[in-house]
Amino acid sequence: MSAAENKKRHSILAEEIRRHDHAYYVLAEPSISDPDYDRLYRELLDLEEAHPELLTADSPSQRVGGKPVSEFPSHRHAQPMMSLDNTYSFDELAAFLKRAEKRLPEAELDWTIEPKIDGLAVSLRYENGVLVVGATRGDGASGDDITGNLKTIRSLPLRLAGGTSSTSSHSSRKNKTKNTDEVELVPPVPALLEVRGEVFMSRAGFAKLNEKRKAEGEEPFANPRNAAAGSLKMLDPKMVAERPLGIILYGLGEVKGEVPPTQKEVVDWLKQLGLPTAGKIWTGQSHADLVAAINELDIARHDLDYETDGAVIKLNNLNLREQCGATSKAPRWAIAYKYAAEQAETVLKAITIQVGRTGALTPVAELEPVLIAGSTVARATLHNEEEIQRKDIRIGDTVVIEKAGEIIPAVVEVVLKKRPKKSKAFVLKKECPECKSKAAKDEADVVWRCPNPDCPAQVRGRLEHFCARGAMDVEGGGEVLVRQLGVHGLADNVGELYKLALAEVAGLERMAEKSAQNFLDGLEASKQRDLWRLIFGLGILHVGAGVAKALCRRFANLDELMDASEEELVAIDDVGEVIAKSVHFWFGDSRNRALIEVLRKAGLNFESSIVQTAAAAGPLAGKSFVLTGALPNLKRHEAAARIEAAGGKVVGSVSKKTDYVVAGEAAGSKLAKAEKMSVPVIDEAELLRMCGK
């Protein structure tokens, strides 16, 4: 075929495959057999391989076309992604409605009620109808660019349906349907469309994924939301493509072109553009209307194939939303009504003790299995000894449990009238159940800990934590494999992981050569992870991911951090005296120093890519600021930029190190804390004066 014929055939194939994808993944109405679909897809791939110039960003072949990345780049949202205020009370909902009516006294208000999807918020940016960027919410102003991973979601179109992008008004092109004289309205595609939604893992897909993981000897995921979030954080799109992810779009960011006037019409518009949306959306005007819709949704949501934890109430009219405005973090025209956690009664058969990677002894309730929120619960955390004493929880008690947010099983209370007559108060044995070492507890701590660093349970916990996605992200390094490594004496610290041979790993129970090689490849890839991941992965007491990042913003490499004094550490934002003491103690231990040298020899990255140079000279040099509330003229990120340009720095929380708190409208707990700690409070005008602008 000629070049023109190849291009035409490629266009026909791509459009046909997109149509079949939409029918299968969005409408659940397959329009072609699997073999016929595979034939079309294979022809497209062959055509692109023979003629690479035909490959486009929106080609169906590009859903899994991205290469693995070492880190996700940052993406700044054109418009902030705000969170929602929550309520659990119909009375608070009524108060919310009254506040809206007070702000809009002349308007007749109507509302939409939509399912609150329990997933991961994302923003998609389409330019001339083609998906160019997909990002996480992040801090609301910017998030991670995960475009490659989002492209793997088959229900998400890489190119929007509809008319040409040159049409500026919200008119529609008419297409005759096949068998009738009715017309289908096809809206024009905007030149720019930023659309917001939620990525989730379906209930059915989640169940199948966990069955597969169990069969392969891997630890099952705790819940669909965590599984979805973890999938989107994977660095290889080909692996993400194997996860059963879906997406629902429900809102707008930046749009160039005319937008429908109401939320209900926006959702219909997005659906016409080929974007997946929620099924039924309720509307109402009065408080009674909203309560009825919320209750109806509460019944209907259990039949949905995705997890929900509430209802989102939004002002339907988009123009009125602008008049309502927003606080610094949430719109005043929307609120989330959260459903109460489901509860159930069951019998507490025993209390066992788990030993964590830091030696923490955590009591766990072993329960008579009970079905709650769609899953069977047989265990629940009891947190610590003080919690057991406070609630007077005893073995043999009938207890009320709930899944807070439909996720975490917790013991709420004891049903005292059903308590056995001869029950005895539970006494925590002050020794490690694993290595029998005598437990210890600091005066300021509520947790008893095993002090033995060689305790097998701690060793397993440290290895598993090191391999976790949030830390070094080593494929296959889950609980099952880690336990076998310990049992067979192959690794008792993270440094020994990098000395493992293929034959050693492949020889373990339920480990084939391929899965063993995947694990070793994951270890090799982890050597290039940024320094903050390594510091977090080392499992230093009190050092989470946020603290690890704060340390790596201050120190350029691991050697600088190891040699830092407690005074240098405590001067860092987000690092208090307890954390500084813990970090200094850890790096001062000769065993830990030896471990660092093993990791250095193995070739791990010890350099920080997020280190920040000293503050620029300026009128605010050396000063730290906390922003709270809505400023009259500046947006939060604009105020932060002014401060940083003047040599100052913006921190997230008020402490004795804070120099000033900049307070605007509806300032909350940060303002109260500043006043309590006598930290100077200034307004926007004073901030601008100090900046010299």
pLDDT tens for each residue of 302-349: 888 888 889 999 999 999 998 888 876 789 999 999 887 778 899 999
Residues 6+ apart with CB under 8 A from 384: 362, 363, 446, 447, 448
Note if 649 is an active site residue.
no
Q: Tell me the mean pLDDT in the region 625-647.
A: 80
Q: What is the pLDDT of residue 176?
A: 41
Q: What is the pLDDT of residue 571?
A: 83
pLDDT tens for each residue of 397-408: 999 998 754 456
Nearest to 22 by CA among 197, 163, 155, 177: 155
Q: What's the rounded Cα separation, in Å, for the pair 664 and 681? A: 10
Q: What is the pLDDT of residue 181?
A: 46
Q: What is the pLDDT of residue 612?
A: 72
Choice between 560 and 230, residue whose per-residue pLDDT is larger = 560
Q: What is the pLDDT of residue 166?
A: 37
Q: What's the rounded Cα separation, in Å, for the pair 635 and 689? A: 17
Q: What is the pLDDT of residue 185?
A: 54
Region of poorest pLDDT, from 61-75, 114-128, 329-343, 492-506: 61-75
Q: What is the pLDDT of residue 436?
A: 95
DSSP states along 26-86: ISS---S-HHHHHHHHHHHHHHHHH-GGG--TT-GGGGG-PPP-SSPPEEE-SS------E
Choice between 214 and 456, residue whose per-residue pLDDT is larger = 456
Q: What is the pLDDT of residue 326?
A: 84
Residues of the chain with pLDDT > 90, as a percent, come to: 43
Q: What's the rounded Cα separation, in Å, for the pair 222 and 209? A: 11
Q: What is the pLDDT of residue 497?
A: 95
Strand partners, 130: 127, 159
Nearest to 491 by CA among 519, 471, 469: 519
Q: What is the 3-state secondary structure (H, E, C) of 447-500?
A: CCECCCCCCHHHHHHHHHHHHCCCCCCCCCCCHHHHHHHHHCCCCCCHHHHCCC
Q: Give me the phi and psi of 326, to 5 degrees please.
A: -155, 160
In this model, does residue 252 exceed pLDDT 70?
Answer: yes
Nearest to 120 by CA among 225, 209, 267, 248: 225
Region of poorest pLDDT, from 107-121, 507-521, 589-603: 507-521
437 contacts 452 by C-beta, under 8 angstroms = yes
Catalytic residue among 8, 98, 102, 116: 116
In this model, does residue 534 exceed pLDDT 90?
Answer: yes
Q: What is the pLDDT of residue 161?
A: 84
Confidence of residue 288 (pLDDT cuts 50, 70, 90): very high
Domains of the chain in sequence order: 3-55 (1.10.287.610), 86-338 (3.30.470.30), 341-451 (2.40.50.140), 456-602 (1.10.150.20), 624-691 (3.40.50.10190)
pLDDT tens for each residue of 181-220: 444 456 788 999 999 999 999 988 988 888 877 666 566 7
Residue type, 414: V
In this model, does residue 72 exceed pLDDT 60?
Answer: yes
pLDDT tens for each residue of 2-28: 888 888 888 888 888 888 877 766 665
Nearest to 423 by CA among 402, 387, 399, 446: 399
